[in-house]
């Protein structure tokens, strides 16, 4: 498991389903560098139980992310055809119809691996055959990537543990407050609360020197 905070987010180009049903071949987060921040999250599998609760939770808050200028993008190791099929099914039937943000298809599993959230690895057995050491699906990883393409926040949950979308929004607010005001955000800070000023130099200045 790698720590990407403070580093450039891994680049990729992969198939994805956008706008709830349009398959495109070369989707990349690089299109947002210099333009807007991205909330990029992984989920384990299509046609499961906890995953749709998270996908709908992000959809329900999508307008709030968009109001902050943040692009929300999801990813799993399923194919784009699997994503598309799931998107055609109503929620009452276990589907995710109504999800409008992009779903990236990490069929090669390289995106999950590069972001450090792939559960398992490949190795050679005693007969020199390639075999997997785990389920080879993504943990519930979440990455807040700023408009310069740098990861500013990440969390990784095991499969049974769903995430808190309000906390993801809070981290967006904290990052934007720091970027706009140069003030750092203490524990349990929420938008509108008082933040903290540095005594001698800003955090950005400190990081630039070290």
Backbone angles phi, psi at 84, to 5 degrees: -60, -45
Q: What is the pLDDT of residue 199?
A: 42
Residues in Cβ contact with 195 at an 8 Å cutoff, skipping those fewer than 6 apart? 177, 178, 181, 183, 184, 185, 186, 189
Reported as a single tens digit per residue, the pLDDT across 135-188 is: 899 999 999 999 999 999 999 999 999 999 999 999 999 999 999 988 888 888
What one-character DSSP code corresponds to residue 89?
S
pLDDT tier, 58 (very low <50, low <70, confident <90, very high otherwise): very high
User: Does the annotation count 51 as an active-site position?
Assistant: yes
Q: What is the pLDDT of residue 189?
A: 86
135/60 Cα distance (integer angstroms): 30
- At CA 158, angle to CA 153 and CA 164, rounded to 5? 55
Closest by CA to 135, choosing from 75, 78, 74, is 78
Q: Which tokens is 188 given? A: 């349990």
Structural domains of the chain, with CATH: 14-163 (3.40.30.10), 164-210 (no CATH)
Q: What is the pLDDT of residue 124?
A: 65
Decide which of 11 and 134 is more confident.
Answer: 11
Q: Is 187 in a helix, a strand, or coil?
A: coil
Q: Name the average pLDDT for the chain.
A: 91
Which of the following is catalytic: 51, 75, 131, 185? Answer: 51
Reported as a single tens digit per residue, the pLDDT across 91-118 is: 999 999 999 999 999 999 999 999 999 9
Q: What is the pLDDT of residue 52?
A: 97
Q: Greatest CA separation found in the chain?
A: 62
101: exposed, middle or buried (Cβ count in 10 Å: 0-12, 13-18, 19+): buried
pLDDT above 70 as % of the chain? 90
Q: Which tokens is 194 given? A: 């008082």
Q: Are 52 and 156 in contact (CB under 8 A)?
A: no
């Amino acid at each position: 498991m790698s720590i990407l905070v403070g580093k450039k987010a891994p680049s990729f180009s992969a198939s994805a389903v956008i706008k709830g049903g349009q398959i495109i071949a070369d989707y990349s987060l690089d299109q947002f560098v210099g333009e807007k921040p991205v909330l990029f999250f992984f989920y384990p599998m299509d046609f499961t139980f906890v995953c749709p609760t998270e996908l709908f939770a992000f959809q329900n808050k999508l307008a709030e992310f968009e109001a902050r200028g943040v692009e929300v993008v999801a990813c799993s190791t399923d194919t784009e055809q699997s994503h598309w099929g799931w998107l055609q099914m109503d929620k009452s039937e276990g589907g995710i119809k109504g999800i409008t943000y992009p779903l990236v298809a990490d069929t090669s599993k390289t995106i999950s691996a590069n972001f450090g959230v792939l559960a398992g690895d490949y190795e050679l057995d005693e007969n020199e055959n390639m075999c997997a050491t785990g389920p080879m699906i993504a943990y519930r990883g979440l990455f807040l990537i700023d408009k310069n393409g740098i990861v500013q926040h990440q969390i990784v949950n095991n499969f049974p543990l769903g995430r808190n979308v309000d906390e993801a929004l809070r981290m967006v607010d904290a990052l934007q407050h720091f970027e706009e005001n140069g003030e750092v955000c203490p524990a349990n800070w929420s938008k509108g609360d008082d933040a903290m000023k540095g005594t001698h130099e800003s955090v950005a200045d400190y990081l630039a020197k070290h």
